[in-house]
Chain A
């Protein structure tokens, strides 16, 4: 009997797609408001202020909450209908504490691996692997209660990774970490996204943090889509130099203007577009010439901030660096 062969390649579906997604908790609280966005595989930053609707979006994508109206698709599947199929391919790291203090990391991650459907031996092996990848191999038989915040965040990441998902949803993964811990966690997430072949959605209220590791960004505010863009398209954009001098800022700005370098003042900072390699040297020369006390001179990419330039008023609320960019034109 002739059978219809399946198409040789599955039709390419976006990683996440939402269509007029709206979630109202009651008559007054609207967490998501007509959100339409399409996200391609990669490392995706989901940024927004606290209460912007990031967690609600994640819960809908996991099938924990039904949308009030509109629809969401993950791997082309509807999470409220094909909940099990979606969850088998998604790993979730919640924002809040979610670890039992009296179990060892190995025991706990193995247990959750089994809840995800891994047979006993496979769960144990994958738990060890996941803990090794997050850098907790040596300590894995110690009770979680004795771990530092950084180690706990790593266990939370390991449990999201244990069943080898195709997509990780990480809710504020750098919460409570010191600067070194943040860098380590972001590095780890970047590695997962690039080397492991797992797409990652990183939620954060700190734009400056996620922009370092993301391929694309989705910004939401008040439940509405602010901007969604691929970062790769912007990599050629000029970078920004931040100059801080403790006095004589106006003087320096004038001097730079004479040299043909456009500088904009932003509070106590001067922002200069980095057009060529010698811009550094010319600024340093100008500072030395005027004999000003230089506090800092460093480079900052502005393409992310650029995303949030429109609408400017809302963009300024999203992250610290957004306000800087508004001045750099």
Chain B
């Protein structure tokens, strides 16, 4: 061995690079959540459900685009498409919200987050953001297929493309409304239990249990009661807002459109507040 030979230190190396702050930690958790929502970075089993839902939703968009290209008839507008896919979105959040938060409660991983840069509020908001984005991508993504089909098939040149784009924008906004309302309720329910099956059941129940009330109210004699029936159910609430904004004709809201808007905002704010409160409590355990 020569005198010049180098001894390679394979011992412990201190880290001297940059340490990023809370904003970076928040973004990291958000991205991790978004990936989890589609099973990325996780075993194949975890990918089956989200990707089958996404495939179905995308397949519908492809079929609609094909029909329109063949016959020139637009069976469903972007907004109507979003509305029809609402049920798939409910199914999706019922399975994915527990994956995002119930799993963490179950495995006890939360203390590892809360002893790092993240606060309980950061954690809850990052997860909520991730689920909102995931649902929005689910409903909004396939609309791009419809848009490209429609834009290329238009006979009105640039004006036709522009009209198509305005319609798409409405569809994207409506997808966003679905995402925010559905995700906030689902995440709140899922954060209450570490058992994923219970959480999924609870989320579906929260949507289904309110439907009979809507049904009863919508057949009463009072016009006001019929118009306001949708307010008591999360799905009806979203449809009411859709009717007010985009005239989807899904339900009757009469002159009460703004009521739906206000209730929807209050509903989301309420869910988010309860979610934050829940995690503040969990964090001190």
Measured CB to CB, the residues of A under 8 A from B are 62, 64-65, 84, 87-88, 90, 92, 94, 96-103, 107, 111-112, 114-119, 122, 126, 129, 133, 143, 159, 163-164, 192, 195-197
Q: Which B residues lie within 8 Å of A84 (CB)?
A: 21-22, 117
| C-alpha gap A87/B116 in the complex (Å) | 6
**Contact residues of A: prevailing secondary structure:** loop
A192 CB → nearest B CB, Å: 8
A122 touches B17 (CB 8 A): yes
Convert B89-132 into 0s and 1s, putting 1 for each residue whose CB lies closer than 8 angstroms to a CB of A: 00000000000000110011101111111100000000000000
Question: Which segment, of B7-15, B136-144, B158-166, B252-260, faces chain A?
Answer: B7-15
Q: Which B residues lie within 8 Å of A114 (CB)?
A: 24-25, 28, 32
| C-alpha gap A96/B112 in the complex (Å) | 11
A117 CB → nearest B CB, Å: 4
A194 CB → nearest B CB, Å: 11
The answer to whether B192 has its CB under 8 Å from any CB of chain A is no
Q: Which A residues lie within 8 Å of B118 (CB)?
A: 115
Q: Name the contact of A117 in the complex, choosing from B11, B13, B19, B112 (C-beta under 8 A).
A: B19
Question: Which segment, of B38-46, B149-157, B176-184, B239-247, faces chain A?
Answer: B38-46
B113 CB → nearest A CB, Å: 6
Q: Which A residues lie within 8 Å of B109 (CB)?
A: 98-100
Q: Which B residues lie within 8 Å of A118 (CB)?
A: 15, 17, 19-20
Query: Can you list 15 pairs linking A and B with CB atoms under 8 Å apart?
Result: A65-B284, A87-B117, A92-B112, A94-B111, A98-B111, A100-B109, A111-B28, A114-B24, A114-B28, A115-B25, A116-B25, A116-B116, A122-B15, A122-B17, A197-B12
A263 CB → nearest B CB, Å: 46
B112 touches A94 (CB 8 A): yes
Q: Name the contact of B29 in the complex, choosing from A92, A96, A97, A115 (C-beta under 8 A).
A: A115
Question: In the complex, given contacts A100-B104, A114-B32, what are 8 additional A-B residue pairs having Cβ atoms less than 8 angstroms apart?
Answer: A87-B115, A88-B117, A90-B115, A92-B112, A94-B108, A114-B28, A115-B25, A164-B14
The answer to whether B18 has its CB under 8 Å from any CB of chain A is yes
B124 CB → nearest A CB, Å: 15
Q: Which B residues lie within 8 Å of A98 (CB)?
A: 107-109, 111-112
Q: Name the contact of A64 in the complex, choosing from B12, B104, B108, B114 (C-beta under 8 A).
A: B114
Given contacts A64-B284, A98-B109, A115-B116, contact A196 B21 (CB under 8 A): no
Q: Which B residues lie within 8 Å of A122 (CB)?
A: 15, 17
The answer to whether B62 has its CB under 8 Å from any CB of chain A is no
A145 CB → nearest B CB, Å: 9
B20 touches A119 (CB 8 A): yes
B267 CB → nearest A CB, Å: 31
Q: Which of B197-249 contact A (CB under 8 A)?
A: none
B19 touches A102 (CB 8 A): no
Q: Name the contact of B108 in the complex, choosing from A62, A96, A117 (C-beta under 8 A).
A: A96
Q: Which 5 A-B pairs have the closest CB atoms?
A: A164-B15, A114-B28, A196-B12, A117-B19, A117-B20
| C-alpha gap A84/B111 in the complex (Å) | 15
A195 CB → nearest B CB, Å: 6
Q: Which A residues lie within 8 Å of B24 (CB)?
A: 114, 117
Q: Which B residues lie within 8 Å of A103 (CB)?
A: 41-42
A115 touches B113 (CB 8 A): yes
B115 touches A92 (CB 8 A): yes
B9 CB → nearest A CB, Å: 11
| C-alpha gap A97/B109 in the complex (Å) | 8
Q: Which B residues lie within 8 Å of A64 (CB)?
A: 111, 114-115, 283-284
A195 touches B12 (CB 8 A): yes
| C-alpha gap A88/B118 in the complex (Å) | 11
- Smallest CB-CB separation from A129: which chain B residue? B13
Q: Which B residues lie within 8 Å of A129 (CB)?
A: 13
A329 CB → nearest B CB, Å: 42
Q: Which of B27-41 contact A (CB under 8 A)?
A: 28-29, 32, 41
Given contacts A102-B42, A159-B112, contact A115 B21 (CB under 8 A): no
Q: Which A residues lie within 8 Å of B116 (CB)?
A: 87, 112, 115-116
A161 CB → nearest B CB, Å: 9
Q: Name the contact of A115 in the complex, choosing from B28, B42, B111 (C-beta under 8 A).
A: B28
Q: Name the contact of A101 in the complex, choosing from B17, B41, B107 (C-beta under 8 A).
A: B107
| C-alpha gap A164/B16 in the complex (Å) | 9
A108 CB → nearest B CB, Å: 8
Q: Which B residues lie within 8 Å of A111 (CB)?
A: 28, 32
B23 CB → nearest A CB, Å: 10
B249 CB → nearest A CB, Å: 44
Q: Which A residues lie within 8 Å of B114 (CB)?
A: 64
Q: Which A residues lie within 8 Å of B14 (CB)?
A: 164, 197
Given contacts A102-B46, A112-B112, contact A117 B107 (CB under 8 A): no
A115 touches B15 (CB 8 A): no
B20 touches A102 (CB 8 A): no
| C-alpha gap A98/B107 in the complex (Å) | 5
Q: Which B residues lie within 8 Å of A159 (CB)?
A: 112
